[in-house]
């Protein structure tokens, strides 16, 4: 197959036709209409073989995750995603690999009602870059809105995906290990939850590099301190059964790839935030407070700092 046959066979079917797409996939650029009184939200993420996934990773998993990590950024802003642009660099046009990659990509895009409207392919070391386009009503959630006195909430449980990394190639997996691997391979983007928290939460960030590292981004952007409580961090029963208590806590604090969201919410809006989460069937857990200062620290039950060797994933 040449480039155009490849795109037509595996990626053009991932475009959903609707009235908002003015110029379809296949031209020099796609054109979409902008909803009235909406702001456009853009995000891009790149996954590189050997850095973000192992060389023998199932291409269906790679496809799903390439969309999910981007959609999580949309969720962090409270945005409704709509469209994707794929830049795919592949060493060869292996049809089995392309078929399974496009299945995984399509599965995730379908889950959030997104359309693939364009992109590019090239030959080279395997790398996937996906740009997502969405929109938001009113003011988006950002990292710089945290206020002193806000409560810190996180969705779901933390550390599961990081805990999965050391058992990805293990066989057979027991039920608890399968749960952890599933959390790594198919993370959930909290799109609806964040859209419902617009105007309720003051700040938000997706936890991709680890809780401590990403809390640091909010602290720096908002010029505040963040105190986390170790015994309040939500850890799944699966992670606790596979690892020791200390290991599970380290995964939860410093491991990335869960793509859960951290919010800061004013005290008088907590009940509404919890109600919105319950409506979505998602658990929000209070894990700390926004304070004066410029620090991020995790406190033990005796209010002593917990010092970890690593504080999250560093890209360089």
Give the DSSP per-residue string, 5-30. HHHHHHTGGGPPP-TTEEE-BTBSS-
Q: How far apart are CA 230 and CA 253, in angstroms?
A: 9
Task: Please say if the pLDDT value at position 37 is more than 90.
Answer: no
293 SS3 class: coil
Q: Give me the pLDDT at residue 315, please.
A: 53
The percent of residues in the chain predicted with pLDDT above 70, rounded, is 97
Handedness of CA 14, 16, 17, 22 (dihedral sign): negative
Question: For 298, what's the count of Cα atoms within 13 Å in the CB-facing half-sphere?
Answer: 21
Q: Which domains does the chain have, with CATH numbers?
A: 3-137 (3.30.1330.10), 151-299 (3.90.650.10)
For residue 299, the 8-state DSSP code is E
Q: Is the pTM of this model over 0.75?
A: yes
What is the number of other CB atoms lying within 10 angstroms of the CB of residue 235? 18
Q: How far apart are CA 169 and CA 155, in angstroms?
A: 28
Average pLDDT over residues 49-72: 93
Q: Give me the pLDDT at residue 18, please.
A: 81
283: Cβ contacts below 8 Å, ≥ 6 apart = 155, 156, 234, 277
Average pLDDT over residues 77-92: 96
Q: Give me the pLDDT at residue 299, please.
A: 92
Confidence of residue 24 (pLDDT cuts 50, 70, 90): confident
128: Cβ contacts below 8 Å, ≥ 6 apart = 46, 47, 62, 66, 86, 87, 88, 89
Confidence of residue 307 (pLDDT cuts 50, 70, 90): low
Confidence of residue 312 (pLDDT cuts 50, 70, 90): low
Q: How far apart are CA 258 and CA 188, in angstroms?
A: 8
Q: How far is CA 159 from the centre of its chain?
A: 13
Highest mean pLDDT among 18-22, 115-119, 239-243: 239-243
Average pLDDT, whole number, for the chain?
A: 92
Average pLDDT over residues 218-225: 96
Q: Give me the pLDDT at residue 19, please.
A: 82
Q: Give me the pLDDT at residue 8, please.
A: 87
Q: Give me the pLDDT at residue 36, please.
A: 86
Q: Give me the pLDDT at residue 306, please.
A: 78
For residue 142, the 8-state DSSP code is -
Average pLDDT over residues 268-281: 97
Task: Please say if the pLDDT value at position 166 is more than 60.
Answer: yes
Confidence of residue 157 (pLDDT cuts 50, 70, 90): very high
Instruction: Tell whether omega for the bond before 313 is within 30 degrees of 0, i.e. cis.
Output: no
Closest CA to 64 of 228, 179, 181, 231: 181
Task: Please say if the pLDDT value at position 107 is more than 80.
Answer: yes
Whole-number CA gyration radius for the chain: 20
Backbone φ and ψ for 203, nearest 5 degrees, come out as: -150, 160
Extract the tokens encoding 157. 């449980």
The percent of residues in the chain predicted with pLDDT above 90, rounded, is 76
- H-helix or E-strand spanning residue 128: strand 127-137
| Tens digits of residue pLDDT in 3-18 | 888 888 888 889 887 8
Q: How far apart are CA 224 and CA 291, in angstroms?
A: 6
For residue 159, the 8-state DSSP code is S
Task: Please say if the pLDDT value at position 313 is more than 90.
Answer: no
Instruction: Tell me which of 22-31, 48-57, 224-233 is least confident.
Output: 22-31
Q: Give me the pLDDT at residue 3, please.
A: 81
Distances 252 to 88, 102, 129 between C-alpha atoms, Å: 32, 31, 27
Average pLDDT over residues 226-252: 96
Q: Give me the pLDDT at residue 7, please.
A: 86
123 SS3 class: strand
Q: Give me the pLDDT at residue 314, please.
A: 57
| Tens digits of residue pLDDT in 120-144 | 999 999 999 999 999 998 899 999 9
Residue in this structure with the two tokens 């859960």, named with its chain if needed: 260
Residue in this structure with the two tokens 């981007």, named with its chain if needed: 70
Q: Across the chain, how many H-helices and E-strands are there?
A: 10, 12
């Amino acid at each position: 197959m040449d480039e155009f046959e490849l795109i037509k066979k595996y990626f053009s079917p991932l475009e959903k036709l609707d009235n908002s797409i003015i110029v379809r996939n296949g031209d020099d650029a796609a054109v979409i209409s902008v909803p009235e009184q909406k702001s456009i939200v853009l995000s891009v993420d790149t996954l590189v073989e050997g850095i973000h996934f192992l060389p023998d990773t199932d291409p269906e998993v790679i496809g799903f995750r390439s969309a999910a990590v981007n959609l999580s950024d949309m969720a962090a802003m409270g945005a409704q995603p709509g469209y994707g642009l794929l830049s795919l660099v592949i060493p060869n046009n292996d049809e089995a690999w392309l078929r399974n990659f496009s299945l995984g990509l399509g599965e995730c895009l379908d889950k959030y009602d997104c359309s693939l409207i364009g992109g590019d392919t090239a030959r080279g070391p395997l790398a996937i870059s996906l740009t997502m386009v969405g929109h938001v009503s009113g003011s988006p959630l950002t990292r710089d809105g945290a206020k002193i006195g806000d409560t810190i909430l996180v969705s779901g449980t933390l550390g599961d995906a990081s805990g999965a990394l050391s058992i990805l190639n293990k066989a057979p997996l027991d039920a608890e290990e399968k749960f952890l691997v599933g959390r790594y391979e198919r993370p959930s983007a909290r799109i609806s939850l964040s859209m419902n928290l617009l105007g309720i939460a003051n700040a938000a960030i997706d936890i991709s590099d680890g809780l401590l590292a990403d809390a640091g981004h909010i602290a720096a952007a908002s010029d505040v301190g963040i105190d986390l409580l170790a015994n309040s961090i939500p850890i799944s029963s699966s992670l606790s059964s596979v690892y020791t208590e200390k290991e599970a806590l380290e995964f939860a604090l410093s491991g990335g790839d869960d793509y859960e969201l951290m919010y800061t919410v004013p005290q008088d809006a907590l009940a509404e935030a919890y109600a919105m989460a319950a409506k979505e069937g998602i658990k929000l857990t209070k894990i700390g407070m926004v304070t004066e200062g410029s620090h991020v620290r995790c406190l033990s039950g005796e209010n002593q700092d917990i010092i970890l060797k690593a504080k999250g994933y560093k890209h360089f």
